[in-house]
């Protein structure tokens, strides 16, 4: 059994061949058939269904975000992808997710905007020389 990462790289090569120029596709038909034979039929049929609809079958994950639908992937999905144990689908767009080598699964830290300085408020009818009136 191939590892999940090798399987996804195989499907990524298929996608590049299918989305490339038609002239290149005709020349590499044998290579495409060889790549298709290495993928299990259930996975290949889902990939083909997406490609037939004019969508990409595989989406690259960068900084924990699917690059096709721009939605953040779940932490458990990212952990599984980083270990290379299993293939995962995007919960939003349904594409297979591919985590490139060396890509961090952590999102970049969010920087909070600086809060404006708090101004002291003056009480109405009271000057700084006079004490407040007692009621």
pLDDT at 84: 83
- Residue 43, both tokens: 């996975």
| Model confidence pLDDT, tens digit, residues 32-65 | 888 889 889 999 999 999 999 989 999 999 988 9
Q: How many CB atoms lie within 10 A of CB 118?
A: 6
At 1 the pLDDT is 38
How many Cβ atoms are within 10 Å of 81's Cβ, its own excluded? 23
pTM for the full predicted model: 0.69
> What is residue 45's predicted lDDT score, i.e. its pLDDT?
93
Residues of the chain with pLDDT below 70 are 1-2, 24-25, 103-110, 125-135
Alpha carbon of residue 112 to chain centroid: 23
Beta strands in the chain (DSSP E): 58-62, 65-66, 96-98
């Amino acid at each position: 059994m191939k590892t999940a990462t090798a399987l996804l790289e195989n499907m990524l090569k298929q996608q590049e061949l299918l989305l490339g120029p038609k002239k290149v596709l005709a020349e590499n038909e044998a290579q495409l058939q060889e790549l298709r034979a290495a993928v299990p039929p259930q996975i290949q049929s889902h990939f083909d269904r997406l490609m037939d609809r004019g969508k990409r079958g595989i989406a690259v994950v960068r900084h924990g975000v699917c690059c096709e639908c721009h939605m953040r992937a779940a932490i458990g999905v990212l952990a599984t992808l980083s270990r290379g144990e299993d293939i995962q689908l995007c919960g939003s767009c349904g594409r297979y997710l591919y985590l490139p080598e060396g890509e961090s699964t952590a999102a970049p830290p969010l920087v909070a905007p600086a809060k404006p300085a708090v101004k002291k408020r003056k009480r109405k009818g009271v000057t700084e020389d006079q004490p407040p009136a007692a009621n």
